[in-house]
Structure 1
Amino acid sequence: MRLANTDIRALHVFQAIVEHGGFAGAEISLGLTQSALSLHLKKLEERLGFTLCQRGRRGFQLTDRGAIVYRQARLILAELDSFEESLSELRRRVTGKLRIGLVDNTVSNYDFPISEAISGFLKKMPEAEIEVVVDIPEHLETEVANNNLHLALGPIIYHREGLQYRQFYVEKHSLYCGRRHPLFLDSDDEPKLSVLRQHPMVVRSYGGDEELGIIKNALVGSRVSSMEAAAHLILSGSFIGFLPDHYARRWLQVGEMRNLSGSDLALHTAFFIITRSSRQKQPLRDKFMQELVAILNRRLHEG
Structure 2
Amino acid sequence: MNRHSQVKHIADADLKLLRVFKAVAESGGLAAAETELNIGKSTISKYIADLELRLDLKLCNRGPAGFSLTDDGEKVLRSADGLLASVTDFRAQVNEIKQQLAGTIRIALFDQCASNPEAFVPGTIREFNKAAPAVEIELSLEPPNVIETKVIGGELDIGILALHRPSPSLDYMPLYGENMFLYCGKGHPFFDSDQASLGLPDVQSVNYAGIRVNSPNLHVGQKLGFRRAAKVQNEQALAILIMSGSYLGFLPDHLGDLFVGHGLMKKVLPEEIFYRSQFAAVTRKRPAVNRITKLFLDTLVASHSGPDAGD
TM-score for both structures, normalised by structure 1: 0.75
Secondary structure (helix, strand or coil) at the match of 2:115 reads coil
User: After TM superposition, which residue ranges in structure 1, 4 or more long, deviate above 6 angstroms?
Assistant: 35-42, 52-55, 61-64
Paired residue for 1:232, among 240, 262, 274?
Answer: 240
Secondary structure (helix, strand or coil) at the match of 2:306 reads helix
Query: Per-residue displacement from partner, 1:217-242 (whole Å, max 9, x unpaired)?
Result: x3333222221222122223222211
Question: Match of 1:223?
Answer: 231
Question: Match of 1:128?
Answer: 135
In structure 1, the gaps of 5 or more residues are 18-22
Identical positions, percent: 24
Question: Match of 1:210?
Answer: 219
AA aligned to 1:113 is F
Aligned residues: 286
Return the alpha-carbon distance in structure 1 between the equivalents of residues 300 and 16 of structure 2. Answer: 31
Asked if residue 118 in structure 1 is aligned to residue 116 in structure 2, the reply is no
Return the alpha-carbon distance in structure 2 between the equivalents of residues 253 and 199 of structure 1. Answer: 24
Return the alpha-carbon distance in structure 2 between the equivalents of residues 211 and 292 of structure 1. Answer: 28
Query: Cα gap change, 1:263/1:77 in structure 2, threshold over 3 Å: closer, same or farther?
Result: same
Equivalent residues in 2 for 1:171-186, closer than 5 Å: 171-186=178-193
Question: Match of 2:105?
Answer: 98
AA aligned to 2:235 is M
Question: Match of 1:265?
Answer: 273
Return the alpha-carbon distance in structure 2 between the equivalents of residues 187 and 63 of structure 1. Answer: 54
Question: Match of 2:259?
Answer: 251
Question: Match of 2:292?
Answer: 284
AA aligned to 1:204 is I
Paired residue for 1:147, among 139, 154, 160?
Answer: 154
Return the alpha-carbon distance in structure 2 between the equivalents of residues 124 and 283 of structure 1. Answer: 12
Q: 2:118·2:177 contact (CA, 8 Å) conserved in 1? A: no
Question: Match of 2:198?
Answer: 191
Range with bigger deviation, 152-161 or 291-300: 152-161
Query: Cα gap change, 1:45/1:271 in structure 2, threshold over 3 Å: closer, same or farther?
Result: same
Q: CA deviation at 1:128?
A: 1.5
Secondary structure (helix, strand or coil) at the match of 1:238 reads coil
Q: 2:195·2:269 contact (CA, 8 Å) conserved in 1? A: no
Return the alpha-carbon distance in structure 1 between the equivalents of residues 167 and 224 of structure 2. Answer: 28
In structure 2, the gaps of 5 or more residues are 1-7, 35-40, 62-67
Q: CA deviation at 1:197?
A: 2.0
Question: Match of 1:81?
Answer: 88
